[in-house]
Structure 1
Amino acid sequence: MNPRAPLLAACIALAPLHALAVQLMSAPVAIANPQENTSLVSRLNALDNRPGLSADYSFRISSQHPGVVGQKITRAQHTYKGLRVFGSETVVVTNTSGDIVSVAAADRRPGLTPSAVTPSGIATPSPPPPDQLTPNLSSDDAIARAVQAVAATGATHRWTPSAELLIYPVMKTVRTSSAANKPDDQLNAMDVEEVVDRYALAYLVQLRMALGSKLIYYDVVVDARNGDIINKWPTLQTVIGSGNSQYNGVVPISTSATSGGFQMLDSARGTGGKYGGMAITNANHSSPNNPDPGSIYTNSSNTWGDGLQYNGGSTTNANGQTAAVNALWGLMNTYDTNKNVLGWQSLDGNNTATYIAAHVGTSYDNAFYDDSCHCMYIGDGNSFYSLGAIDVIGHEMSHGVTASTADLIYAGESGGLNESNSDIGGEMVEAYARNGGTGSSVPASGNDWMMGKEISKSGEPLRWMYKPSKDGSSPDAWSANLKNMDVHYSSGPNNRMFYFLSQGSKADSGSDYYSPYLTKTPAAMSGIGNDKAYRIWFKALTTKFTSSTNYADARNKVLQAAQELYGATSKEAIAVQRAYAAINVGADIDEAGDGGGGGGEAVEQVVNGGFESGTTGWSGSTGVIGSHSGQAPYEGTRYAWMGGNGRRSTETLTQRVQIPATASSAQLSFALHIDTAETSNTVYDTLTVSLRAASGSLLTTLATYTNLTPAAGYQIRSFDLLPYKGQQVTLSFVMREDRSKQTSFVLDKVNLLTR
């Protein structure tokens, strides 16, 4: 190893970790062309070379949206023999040169190892044999069966029904071996797992229908061989249930000049879409079973509304305009919250404009988001006041964000998380709007943690986030029955988790803010505030969640997001673990303890991950380990300085680690600082992080970092290694420099914490 030749940037004081949290999402991304998609699929196939994989297994690009500046997030569905495997997918983060930065996945593909055996020792069933991959039913037959199954005979189709032929994993819940003898009422979410019981060739039928005054939106899974209904779930995403705003007084609204006056078209927020910008339209009592959004609101002056509940008369006079004022102010603040705080533009991150139609139906007690048009409809209310309150708008628009990213299946635990994300979004938009609707952070207060309180004539909100059970139906904590509940109720525990993460809890057992599951010290956990809690949650949703994410998976991925943003042992990572423990998902830990792993029973599998004991535990180019004046450590005094030579060179560090077969979580994390003298927009120098089997064969490449991704200070990288439980694997860091201009990859604080 030659003496290092670092840039001046290498000597800059380390950026505080909290600065990493204010990284913004990048501008709208260019959607990859077919050739780029083919290239990415090829790279994914090359990375995913586990035993059992063959040419029958591949990937299908489903969506793309921005990551943080310089990154793109791509969602790739898993396929088997050309058919999508439902709920099985990979989330890939790539940098500007197309290198894979991180990967998260939900793998339900048949016949794979090492993920073929669960912690309970249950083998994944085989896929349907080739002679059972030909359907006996046509797509039209499947649609007819689905219509019959949801009792929609005589209904009309609002949107053309679709029927996708796919492989459907029929799931079942099993206990982990460590929880085999636990009483049912003592089970924790980490004590059970969802495993594949069998695979079926099936049609996923999507129905968007109307019958009378009732909307019938359902996804139905129909067995393609015999026509049986395997599963079905409703998909209509509802709340249940200077202008003069009804709820917020006089508010500024962004309109556009038009011939003879003004219109509610906000051209400063969003582009394209149906109206070319964010718009509020007048549905003018159009039937909710087949609503016509109508035309954009217009007015001769730029003063709108009278601030009063709609009286049932004209929808275009001052009183009728008030519902539109509510809607536009809510839409503006939803857009601004996510863009100004996170950098996320509109619902899809790509700044595509949406619209809200006011005055749907007559005395209609509902508001709903319709993903077929990426828009929202608002009723005037009967038992409720007009449903255009700020948290309701934020809630419904957040459904659009979910649909564009994780696309959480609207049933079971994933459906509860889908609804919870919308409640979280509604509360954060409310906090932002109530404090002026400006700034780059979510204010610490301003929201009431009660969903829909303003629209309630009784004063009772639809949901209490801090104690969901106050509504009489929502649970406060996870239980095995959660997956069987309506998604508006199964959202309750995660809502409470987010409240605790932001605001903390109380130790008084008689308090609405108390959790009996917080058994460590202190009994009252500390919150980290709205801003940090929302950043962590949003990062997990957009870069890690898959459509089938459940509560246990969400806990692990939210923890990874916190570790990446704030550090493996940060107070924020500790708060995530305690907040989930408070709802019976994972074990509680002491607040002053280490926050890097899977709970109070975390075990470190890496020897000398901070390099303070020199070369102990490490093999390869161990001369890179030490302490030098040109670089600062993440913590302690030593680190591994890979690269920085300014000449053609290769350096490696490896360590063999064991991931216990009984592990319920396995989190790899490390601190990495990159600086470079390269100036071209070309990859010259790389650091590849991978796992290898005991035989030496490549299991997977976790990430590749390059000279194109330098940063002042360390960044925390984390990966879920649970798919490799029961194996002894070699953790490998390989640095390659070209013939000139140094790039330094400085590594510290390598942890593999298992529970």
Structure 2
Amino acid sequence: MNLRMTLIAASIAALPLMAHNPAQANGQLMAAPAGQASPQENAGLVARLKARGGALGLDAAHGFAIAAQHPGVVGTRITRAQHTYNGLRIYGSESVIVTNDAGEIVSESVADRRAGLSAKDGARGTAAAPLADLAPAFGAAEAIDKVVKAVAPRGLHRWEPQAELMIYPVMKTVRAAGAENKAEAALNAMDLEQVLDHYELAYLVKTRMADKRKLVYRDTILNAKTGAVLKQWEALQTVVGTGNSQYNGAVPINTTLSGSTYSMKDASRGVGGKFGAMAITNANHSPESNPNPGSVYTNSSNVWGDGQQYISGGSTTNANGQTAAVNAMWGLMNTYDALKNVLGWQSLDGANTSTYIAAHVDNDYDNAFFDPGCKCMYIGDGSSFKSLGSLDVIGHEMSHGVTDATSNLEYSGESGGLNESSSDIGGDMVEAYARAGGTGTTIPGGNDWMMGVEISKTGQPLRWMYKPSKDGKSPNAWSSSIGNLNVHYSSGPNNRMFYFLSQGSNASSSSDYYSSYLNKSPAAMTGIGNDKAFRIWFKANTTKFTQLTNYADARNKVLQAAEELYGVGSKEATAVKRAYAAINVGADVDESGVPGGVSISTQPSSVTVAPGGSASFTVGASGGTAPYSYKWLRNGAVISGATAPTYTLTAQTADSGAVFSATVTDSASPASSATSSGATLTVTGGGGSTERVANGGFESGATGWGGSTGVIGSYAGQTAYEGTKFAWLGGNGNSATETLTQSVAIPAAATSATLSFALHIDTAETEAVVYDKLVVTVKSSSGAVLGTLATYSNKNAASGYQMRSFDLLAYKGQTVRLSFAMTEDASLQTSFVVDKVSLLTQ
């Protein structure tokens, strides 16, 4: 929704924009921490703002209160000034001011809800009645009491409750000109405007309580005359939401040695704070309802953790208990480094103030949260989930801290969805940075665009950023009802916007990366890469967004950030317009001036082979920026592990007619891609070659197979070698045995008998020790082992599928049972994924 504010346009138009130098855009780092402005400097800024307000028709009753300050780009400071009337804050009405070292205003981003407060304001375009009576009917203590009785009458305060008397603008949503007769389903976010309806004298009451077995953090707007609740929302910022380094192997973590004892404090990142340095503490199962950070982790040696999931009920200080702390410290270090090295932003507040993460909160707690009271984070051990200490989850929670220190987006409605989305964006960018080595001054690719997939026991992530609706609850695009959703679901469209901004879209309506709202040229929008997308988003959140920024306002301010960084009319600004248009926020535009990229120079040729023969397809590319990456597709579906210029397969009769194509992507930022034409595979009679395995690709489910047939299917977390289905043996992370068998007859007259299958192995095991196995054997019809073909283990893990083949001619004249038997130990999963099983005889 738009916020109808004629004053905003006037005030911003009067301001000079930050000087733009495209060559230096990536070098616009945030300044180092500096002291807060002096009272004299703040008074001077307020005086300048009041003078500007006078020119806009604001009388002497209107004022400004400095709320927060943080570093801006080198040479600037960001100040957030709340608008006041007769000394009372006007809720949601504020200015974000960028000043230079001389104290001059460089730019101002305004959310203006002041019109009509006094009789003199009546000429400023509002029908709202002036608010003349500013005397509350009861005091702050009674306001707190009313909220406590309604929210948690038996609760205990964790942080001192607060009640602020203020002026609350009650807004209403109206249709913009030209959208009056649109159907509800056809509305774009820019078709709606929020306009002032009237004012209420109100208290903003903040209660942070513990009630029974949970935390009850609420922000409440309470009518100061009647005591009625005008609005209320959840204030605890979590990663999981409502409803429903074991991840990184051996990692270097910073600790502090005192005497002969090591403590998990990193004095090289951050200063001050509760523990004097960045720290990981042991909450030691203190309850969610009243979590206590406990003391900083200590150890007699500087080797920490065992890399295993925490054993419920076990020690929180032995090697197993330390692993959650290792996870947390690794996430904290990488989040700090990504923000500082890439953006110049230090710690959560930009002022390099140390924070801490408390591990092992409560028992089997399935969440992680940022607590604004201590500016710290708590992580649980998980029950439905694994330990909630993955890189993206830690990055998510720390990003809540950044938002808390800057835009402070209200955690409800559309602004709450943007708050959550900002944390998902931060978490995924931290993951990308860490996966690429955790160094450098740019955000690379390499993230999975799925939030929390590592903590999942089922392979299902918390959220899919590229297509939020895959969770069954989050929308892919803005609608007029989005503000009614839980913030973990209303974040979905903005997450998708960020994916499109970074990676671009797909023009095929069957693709997960397709948007029907993109109707300009080209149909597939061009992304600008992680680094530029994150810089634009971070600049908008820290220097443009205000507390009640909604989707329409976010679109405009993200566009402003892109234009300031890369120029008006730049491809980056165009990408912002298109990315928001892709989620039904604003109109789509044509791309122009996008330089030519990679193109296909050699198309793959069609191939004819006999069954059992090798079929190869090759693609050539030119233009763009080398090196290129390759992705092969069969009948439009991606072939896992086929990432070279040439793709080769062992052809079966069933493969005849399949069409193969390749997508080539260059290394530019943003990357360009080109897709080849299709090449057809024809499999001839082949001199009598016969396929003996039934349903070797598992596309007909369990047909032909015996044993643990529940492993057959199409599951999130793994992909098929070809087609959509596969057999996923293992992947449980606990003690398990699973077996797949099929009986096949090898003719006595056979002159050749070749068994082949595609196998992918991935594992969470970190030691070079065999823990989990897959044994492939040939058995008699009675089950006796006739021969062991191969034994694979967690030590054989590799990216993509590997083709395996074996000569079974020694078993001609027999009906034998092919057996794939998996055993998995008590912890840390290993997945053995089997596809395209074939036994060809001649």
- TM-score normalised per structure 2: 0.67
2:330 aligns to what?
A: 329
One-letter amino acid matched to 1:389: S
2:457 aligns to what?
A: 457
Indicate which of 64, 80, 83 corresponds to 2:85: 80
Stretch deviating more after TM superposition (34-43 or 228-237): 34-43
Kept in 2: contact 1:277–1:354 (CA 8 A): yes
- Deviation of the 1:112 alpha carbon: 7.6
Instruction: Indicate whether 1:26 and 2:31 are aligned.
Output: yes
- Deviation of the 1:48 alpha carbon: 2.0
For residues 52-82 of structure 1, what are the alpha-carbon distances to aligned partners after superposition, in whole Å with 9 as ceiling and x for unaligned?
3111000000000000111000000000010
One-letter amino acid matched to 2:30: M
- Deviation of the 1:428 alpha carbon: 0.3
- Deviation of the 1:592 alpha carbon: 1.3
Indicate which of 121, 124, 129 corresponds to 1:126: 129
Greater RCO (CA < 8 Å, at least 6 residues apart): 1
Indicate which of 6, 18, 22 corresponds to 1:17: 22
Kept in 1: contact 2:117–2:131 (CA 8 A): no
- Deviation of the 1:177 alpha carbon: 1.6
Summarize the alignment of residues 615-634 of structure 1 with structure 2, pairs less than 5 Å apart.
none
Helix, strand or coil: the match of 1:306?
coil
Kept in 2: contact 1:414–1:549 (CA 8 A): yes
1:142 aligns to what?
A: 143
- CA 1:287–1:567 in structure 2 vs 1: closer, same or farther (change >3 Å)? same
Kept in 2: contact 1:116–1:124 (CA 8 A): no
One-letter amino acid matched to 2:92: G
Summarize the alignment of residues 434-513 of structure 1 with structure 2, pairs less than 5 Å apart.
434-443=435-444, 445-513=445-513
Stretch deviating more after TM superposition (31-40 or 85-94): 31-40
List, as ranges, runs of 4+ consecutive aligned residues in structure 1 with deviation greater than 6 Å. 115-118
One-letter amino acid matched to 1:173: T
Summarize the alignment of residues 284-433 of structure 1 with structure 2, pairs less than 5 Å apart.
284-312=284-312, 313-433=314-434
1:190 aligns to what?
A: 190
Q: In 1, distance between residues paired with 2:503 and 2:460?
A: 22
Summarize the alignment of residues 710-721 of structure 1 with structure 2, pairs less than 5 Å apart.
none
- Deviation of the 1:122 alpha carbon: 7.1
Q: In 2, distance between residues paired with 1:183 and 1:116?
A: 35
1:542 aligns to what?
A: 542
For residues 563-621 of structure 1, what are the alpha-carbon distances to aligned partners after superposition, in whole Å with 9 as ceiling and x for unaligned?
111110110000000000000000000011799xxxxxxxxxxxxxxxxxxxxxxxxxx
- CA 1:15–1:375 in structure 2 vs 1: closer, same or farther (change >3 Å)? closer
Q: In 2, distance between residues paired with 1:460 and 1:430?
A: 17
Instruction: Indicate whether 1:91 and 2:96 are aligned.
Output: yes
One-letter amino acid matched to 1:258: S
One-letter amino acid matched to 2:143: A
Q: In 2, distance between residues paired with 1:93 and 1:116?
A: 27
1:571 aligns to what?
A: 571
One-letter amino acid matched to 1:331: L
One-letter amino acid matched to 1:511: S
For residues 665-710 of structure 1, what are the alpha-carbon distances to aligned partners after superposition, in whole Å with 9 as ceiling and x for unaligned?
xxxxxxxxxxxxxxxxxxxxxxxxxxxxxxxxxxxxxxxxxxxxxx
2:53 aligns to what?
A: 48
Q: In 1, distance between residues paired with 2:69 and 2:267?
A: 24
- CA 1:500–1:87 in structure 2 vs 1: closer, same or farther (change >3 Å)? same
Helix, strand or coil: the match of 2:360?
strand
- Deviation of the 1:542 alpha carbon: 0.8
- Deviation of the 1:378 alpha carbon: 0.6
Q: In 2, distance between residues paired with 1:311 and 1:168?
A: 50
- Deviation of the 1:21 alpha carbon: 2.8
Q: In 1, distance between residues paired with 2:533 and 2:130?
A: 41
One-letter amino acid matched to 2:28: Q
Q: In 1, distance between residues paired with 2:511 and 2:127?
A: 45
- Deviation of the 1:218 alpha carbon: 0.5
Helix, strand or coil: the match of 1:514?
coil
- Deviation of the 1:19 alpha carbon: 2.3
Q: In 2, distance between residues paired with 1:541 and 1:252?
A: 32
Helix, strand or coil: the match of 2:554?
helix
For residues 546-565 of structure 1, what are the alpha-carbon distances to aligned partners after superposition, in whole Å with 9 as ceiling and x for unaligned?
11111101000100110111
Summarize the alignment of residues 590-669 of structure 1 with structure 2, pairs less than 5 Å apart.
590-592=590-592
Q: In 2, distance between residues paired with 1:564 and 1:481?
A: 32
Helix, strand or coil: the match of 1:356?
strand
Q: In 2, distance between residues paired with 1:54 and 1:123?
A: 16
Helix, strand or coil: the match of 1:165?
strand
1:612 aligns to what?
A: none
- Deviation of the 1:446 alpha carbon: 1.7
Q: In 1, distance between residues paired with 2:368 and 2:521?
A: 43
For residues 126-160 of structure 1, what are the alpha-carbon distances to aligned partners after superposition, in whole Å with 9 as ceiling and x for unaligned?
3311xx2100011121112212333x111111111
1:71 aligns to what?
A: 76
For residues 609-661 of structure 1, what are the alpha-carbon distances to aligned partners after superposition, in whole Å with 9 as ceiling and x for unaligned?
xxxxxxxxxxxxxxxxxxxxxxxxxxxxxxxxxxxxxxxxxxxxxxxxxxxxx
- CA 1:405–1:117 in structure 2 vs 1: closer, same or farther (change >3 Å)? farther
- Deviation of the 1:269 alpha carbon: 0.2
- Deviation of the 1:49 alpha carbon: 2.0
**Aligned residue-pair number:** 572
- Deviation of the 1:515 alpha carbon: 0.2
- CA 1:124–1:463 in structure 2 vs 1: closer, same or farther (change >3 Å)? farther
Q: In 1, distance between residues paired with 2:513 and 2:122?
A: 40
Q: In 1, distance between residues paired with 2:187 and 2:146?
A: 38
Q: In 2, distance between residues paired with 1:412 and 1:480?
A: 11
1:215 aligns to what?
A: 215
Q: In 1, distance between residues paired with 2:36 and 2:481?
A: 40
One-letter amino acid matched to 1:247: Y
Q: In 1, distance between residues paired with 2:34 and 2:582?
A: 38
Q: In 2, distance between residues paired with 1:565 and 1:75?
A: 21
Kept in 1: contact 2:282–2:295 (CA 8 A): yes
What CA RMSD, in Å, does the superposition of the two structures yield over aligned residues?
1.9
Please say which structure displays the higher CA radius of gyration.
2
Q: In 2, distance between residues paired with 1:420 and 1:355?
A: 23
Kept in 2: contact 1:409–1:418 (CA 8 A): yes
Instruction: Indicate whether 1:107 and 2:107 are aligned.
Output: no
Helix, strand or coil: the match of 2:64?
strand
Q: In 2, distance between residues paired with 1:462 and 1:216?
A: 23
Q: In 1, distance between residues paired with 2:343 and 2:56?
A: 40
Q: In 2, distance between residues paired with 1:178 and 1:593?
A: 31
Helix, strand or coil: the match of 1:230?
strand
Helix, strand or coil: the match of 1:48?
helix
- Deviation of the 1:33 alpha carbon: 2.3
Kept in 2: contact 1:52–1:112 (CA 8 A): no
One-letter amino acid matched to 2:549: T
- CA 1:566–1:315 in structure 2 vs 1: closer, same or farther (change >3 Å)? same
For residues 471-512 of structure 1, what are the alpha-carbon distances to aligned partners after superposition, in whole Å with 9 as ceiling and x for unaligned?
111110000001111111110100000000000000010111
